[in-house]
A and B are shown apart, each in its own frame.
Chain A
Amino acid sequence: MNQDIYVVIEHLRGQVAEISFVMLAGARDLSKGLGGNVVAILLGHKAQGLAGDPSAGSGQYLAADKVLYLDHPVLADFTSDAYQKVLSDLIAKDQPRAVLFGSTSIGTDLASTLSIKLGFPMVSSCSSFSADGKFISQICGGKIMAEGALPGPTALVTMVPGGYKAERGQSTQSPAVTQIEVPVLDSLRVALAGYIEPESGDVDIAKESVLVSVGRGIQNQDNIVLAEELAQALGGVVSGSRPVIDQGWLATSRLVGKSGKHVKPKIYLALGISGAPEHAEAITNSDTIIAINTDPAAPIFNIAKYGAEIDLFDLVEILTAQVKAAKGS
C-alpha cells in the first residue's frame, strides 16, 4: 500500500481526453496533502506518444510524476472487459491511496465494477478535493453537493469536470515512463466492431455565434418553433439539451452536452434548461450565458451571466417581436 494517486488516462483515437488533464490537476491537489506521487496509468498500443515520448513531440505532456504504460494490441481502443482485467491486477498489486477515473463513457464502465471486484470503496461525480483530502461530489443534477473523507485504504473515484482547469494537468516536461507487463488477455467478452462518425448535420453548432438552446422546459415538439423564430431573429440557430434530443424534437447534431458538442458562442440563450453538470461542462466557454428558467434553484443560474426567473412561454414571443423591431429600426 502507498500514498500515490493513480490517474487512469482516457484517450480516444489518438487524443488524450481533456478530463485526463483535469484529473491530473485534481490528483496534484490531493497528493499535496497526502505526500504521495501523481502516477498516470496509460493503457494502449503503440501509444507511448500519449505518455510523453519526446520523439513524438506532442508538446503538452501529462503533468504526472511518472507514467505507468501498459501496451497490448487489445488495448489499442477502449473496451471495458480488457481494461478492467489490466487495471484490476495493477490496482490490487500496488494499492495506491486513490485511483481517479473520468465520470465518462470510459471511466464509469470501469470504476464501479472494480470497486466490487477488489472490495475497494468508491466515490462518484467528484468535482474537487479539499486541502485536507476530502472529496466534494455533485449530485441531483448539480443542485446538491456532498462532502466526505476520502474512503480507504484505496478509494476509486470518478471525476466530473468543473473543479480544475485542464491546463494545470499539462506540462512542458516529459514525465518518466515505465512500461509494465500486461497480464494475459484471453476469453474477453467485449470487442470493438468499429466507430460510427458523428452525423454532420445541417449546421455545426460548435461554430455558431448565437445559440438559442432549449431544454425540458420547452415541453413538446410543437414549441420548438418558438425558439426557431427567436434564433432566426437573432441570426443564430437552435440547439438543445439531452432530454430534447432523446425525445426526437431536435436532430442529434444539435445536442449540446457531454456526449454532444461543446460550444463557444458569443451568446448562449438557455430556455428551460436546468444546467445539469453534463450540460454545464459543454457551455462554459460561451462568452455570455443567459438563462431563462422558472426554477430559482436551477444550477444554470450559477453559471449564467444574466438570468430571468420567468416562464419561457410568457417571454419568447414578446422577445422575438422586440428583437425584430430593434433590428428593423
Chain B
Amino acid sequence: MNILILVKLVPDLVEELTIDTSGVALDTAWLRLIINEFDDHAIEQGILLKERGGGTVTVVAPDIEGVEDVLFTASAKGADRLIKIKGSFSGVNNHALARAFSAVVKELQPDLVLTGVQANNDLDGSVGPLLAGCMEMPYIGYISGVSVSDGKSKVRKEYPGGLIAEMDVTLPAILGIQAAEQPPRYVAVSKVRQMMKTSTIEERIAPDLDITGGPTIDRMFQAEAGQRATMLTGSPDEVAAKLVGIFKELGVV
C-alpha cells in the first residue's frame, strides 16, 4: 500500500507571537516554525499502518525553513520517501498549499493520504478536505484509528463526549488525523543526523501558488481578555497560601 503523508509547518505557540508592521500577519522574523502536531500524529499513523500491512510511506512538505529537519525526522521514524515542494510559500494560504499538494498526489497515486485534521494557523479551511475537493477523493476527519483491507479503510471518527463513529471509506481516500493509535514515537537526534547523511529529499516544483478561495485579512491582533484573571503573585509559598485562602472561601478546604 502506498501511503502519502502531507505535512505543514506552523508557528510554535510556546514562543511569543507578534504582529508585523502591516498589521495583518504574524511577524515571521521571530517566528519559530515547527511541524503541525496533528501532522506528527499522521506520520505516526502512517508508519503504524506500514508496520502492520507493508507498503511505502512518503512524506511531503513545502520547502520552508525547518523542512529538512521535519523530513529527516520522519525518515528516522520509518518513512521511505521524502519530498519537498519548492515554491514561494511566504504568505501562502491552505487553498494554495492544497493545490500544490494535489500535483504530488496526482503523480504518486497513493492509496491513502493522511494529514493532520487541522493546524493552529488555519484561516481558510484545512489542507485535507481542501485537497479532497481538488482531487474529488472522499475525506473523513477527526480520525483516531485506521485499519485497511480489501481496498477499503475502516476508521474511528471522534464526536463530542467521547462518542466514536466507525466509518468505512473506499480507497483512495484522504483522512484528517486527530490522534494516532499511539503517541508519536521518539527518535534520537543521532538517528536524525544519520538520516541527513543517508536519506535524500526529492524535490518538486510547485505550480503557480493560487491563493483564490481564502479570505483577505484587514487586521490581526493579540486576543484581548474579556476580564483578565486576578493574578496571584509572590513566592511559591505565598501563591500557595493565597490559593488555600480561595479554596477556603469556596468551601473546599
- Is B230 a contact of A119 with CB atoms below 8 Å? no
**Chain B contacts with A in 145-194, Cβ cutoff 8 A:** 154, 156-170, 173, 176, 178-179, 182-183
A-binding segment of B58-66, B80-88, B195-203, B231-239:
B231-239
**Chain A contacts with B in 300-327, Cβ cutoff 8 A:** 301-310, 314-315, 318-319, 321-323, 326-327
A-binding segment of B1-9, B48-56, B69-77, B132-140:
B132-140
State whether the Cβ of A100 lies closer than 8 Å to any Cβ in chain B: no
Chain A positions within 8 Å of B, measured between CB atoms, are 12-13, 17, 77-81, 104-105, 108-117, 119-125, 134-135, 137-151, 155, 158, 189-199, 209-210, 234-235, 242-243, 246-248, 252-253, 255, 258-262, 266-267, 274, 287-291, 295, 297, 299, 301-310, 314-315, 318-319, 321-323, 326-327
- The number of residue pairs between A and B whose CB atoms lie closer than 8 Å in the complex comes to 289
State whether the Cβ of B90 lies closer than 8 Å to any Cβ in chain A: no
- CA separation between A197 and B163, bound complex, in Å? 5
Report if A297-B16 is in contact (Cβ < 8 Å); known contacts: A105-B141, A246-B179: yes
State how many angstroms separate the Cβ of A166 from the closest Cβ of chain B: 14
State whether the Cβ of B13 lies closer than 8 Å to any Cβ in chain A: yes
Q: Size band of the B side of the interface? A: 35 or more
Interface of A: prevailing SS = mixed
Q: Nearest A residue to B156 by beta-carbon distance?
A: A196
- Residue among B157, B164, B215 having the largest count of chain A Cβ atoms under 10 Å: B215
Q: Chain B residues near A306 (CB, 8 Å)? A: 229-232, 243, 246
- Is B139 a contact of A234 with CB atoms below 8 Å? no
- Is B229 a contact of A191 with CB atoms below 8 Å? no
Contact of A140 among B17, B139, B236, B247 (CB under 8 A): B17
Q: Nearest B residue to A117 by beta-carbon distance?
A: B133
Q: Nearest A residue to B216 by beta-carbon distance?
A: A148
- CA separation between A274 and B17, bound complex, in Å? 14
- Is A105 a contact of B138 with CB atoms below 8 Å? no
Report if A140-B13 is in contact (Cβ < 8 Å); known contacts: A108-B126, A259-B159, A314-B236: yes
Q: Chain B residues near A121 (CB, 8 Å)? A: 124, 212-215
